[in-house]
Amino acid sequence: MPKSDSSDVIVVGGGHNPLVCAAYLAEAGLSVTVLEGRAVLGGNTVTEELTLPGWQHDSCSTAHVVLQSNPLIRDDELGLVSRYGLQYIVTDPAVVFPLAGGDLLKVHPDLDKTAAEFARFSQADADALITMIDQWNSGQRTAHAHLSAGLPLPDTPWSHSYEELRRRSAWDVIDSTFSHPVPRQVMAWMAFATIQPPERPGTGALPAAIMAGRLAYGWTTPVGGSGVLPNALSAHITDHGGTVHTSAWVRSYTVEEGRCVGVRTADGREFRATRAVVAGSHLRELGGMLETPSRVAHEAARCWRPGIPLFAVHFALRADARYRSAAGPFTSAAGGLGTPHGLLRQVAGIRQGRLETDDPWLLIMSSTAVDPRRAPGGTFKFLTAAPMLRDGRPWSESDASAYAHVLLNLARRHIDGIDDADILAIRPESPTSLAAHNLSNVGGSCHGGEFALDDGTFIPGWTDYRTDVPGLYLTGSTSHPGGSVSGRPGRNTARTVLADLGVPTTMSSP
């Protein structure tokens, strides 16, 4: 008979959000068991040797900008920085944008310096940027923090201003605020960083929110790679009496007398929870894993959509790539290519199964530019959006290689050090292979997808952390506020569980 292990709480999933939730619960004195199906912790915050031995690549997430405003890091609530060695580099510049004629626009972690970059093209747009960020910092930011924390917005003028902004589309905000093509390009590129359609109503806060994050924290790079975050969280959990299991794929949730009391793994092990079970399982799959029907799980699965699929390319380089500029070669942790026209066409093309080859939104990353210990040469990465199917079929390796070289040729117009002789290895990741690499990347989306509600609105994460099955809670990238490395779904769920259990918490403000 398989051994049955018991603890106060079982947390399913070893992505950063389930681990954040588990760490807060352990900090509060509960005994916690974490079960991760893969052999490595982290979900989409994993650092792996994807190309060559010694080259440490971030499989999905690279920057942890959004996480910096979470009290988890902002106030170091769990001591991940002070006690567990988590380190971040605030880069300057945050992002660079190669322009025609060899020019290079730099977004700095400084509003005045970045406004001066905009002023090279339009003083009016520089002033508009300052006004936008001032309005954000004067109260809209606080409203956004409340929303991200799953808390109701207070009845204040800045909450009303935020709601009015959020109801608009990102593109409407950019189009009505900035006039010169270059600032419009920078703001549209920024607004797409969380991979949401820029013309969709409900995305209007993204231009201010994402730009404000870069102005505050640069391209925040975790020293040692994205995987240091789950490793620090795991160390915290075990130090507080918890247990973290890998290679423990949860097959089903045990329900007895109407209450969720545990889980069973694919290898036959049974784990029991005396107080709560937290499901980091993908909400599309959760209903089929429960031993009793759940209205919440059924409704979430019915509304869930994959969102925009992603395409990535990892390179091992002899040395760091260098952007061309009038002042000479320049290295940067992040760069951006793509005009608003190309981005809008690219997003529309994804719905139609069409690949953008002329002017795609392209995020270019070089972690070794700021963290050289990551590889004996340079790490280099592309990220863009692409349809899940090519001509109605999954991507083949040859399809992925061909598109990787399309992107490479676009980047070579502005970047040195990425010629064939400079590249030691290439690993393309199409939406098909991303979904295979991590089974949580359903539909090729690393951001958890989205939910299409009956009223026609879309939300990036399911807004309730409780389910209709007593004892069962939700977290992960399919929970509010959705994907990205924010830690918010994990912290929000932990706060909900602790409140329901009547366990005191020292969590600070949103």
Tens-digit pLDDT profile for the chain (510 aa)?
344 589 999 999 999 999 999 999 999 999 999 999 999 999 999 999 999 999 999 999 999 999 999 999 999 999 999 999 999 999 999 999 999 889 999 999 999 999 999 999 999 999 999 999 999 999 999 999 999 988 999 899 999 999 999 999 999 999 999 999 999 999 999 999 999 999 999 999 999 999 999 999 999 999 999 999 999 999 999 999 999 999 999 999 999 999 999 999 999 999 999 999 999 989 999 999 998 999 999 999 999 999 999 999 999 999 999 999 999 999 999 999 999 999 999 999 998 899 999 999 999 999 999 999 999 999 999 999 999 998 889 999 999 999 999 999 999 999 999 999 999 999 999 999 999 988 888 988 888 899 999 999 999 999 999 999 999 999 999 999 998 999 999 999 999 999 999 999 888 878
Class of domain 4-62+225-305+447-501: alpha beta
Which residues of the chain form CATH 3.50.50.60?
A: 4-62+225-305+447-501
**Angle at Cα 83 formed by Cα 77 and Cα 88, nearest 5°?**
80
Burial 452-486 (b: 16+ CB within 10 A, else e): eeeeeebebbbeebebebebbbbbbbbbbbbbbbb
CA end-to-end span of the chain: 46
H helices of 121-167, in order, are: 123-135, 141-148, 157-167
Q: What is the pLDDT of residue 4?
A: 56
Judged by DSSP in three states, 388 sits in coil
Structure tokens at 275: 């107080």
Cross-strand partners of 450: 305
Half-sphere exposure in the Cβ direction for 326 (13 Å, CA): 7
Taking each helix axis from N to C end, the angle separating 228-239 and 16-27, rounded to the nearest 10 degrees, works out to 30
Q: Residue 198: which of 309, 347, 360 has the closest Cα?
A: 347
- With a CB cutoff of 8 Å and minimum separation 6, the contacts of 362 are 336, 337, 338, 382, 383, 384, 407, 410, 411
Pairing between β-strand 310-317 and β-strand 378-385 as defined by DSSP bridges: antiparallel
Q: What is the pLDDT of residue 1?
A: 30
Q: What is the pLDDT of residue 351?
A: 86
Task: Give just the sign of the alpha carbon dihedral 335, 145, 153, 496.
Answer: positive
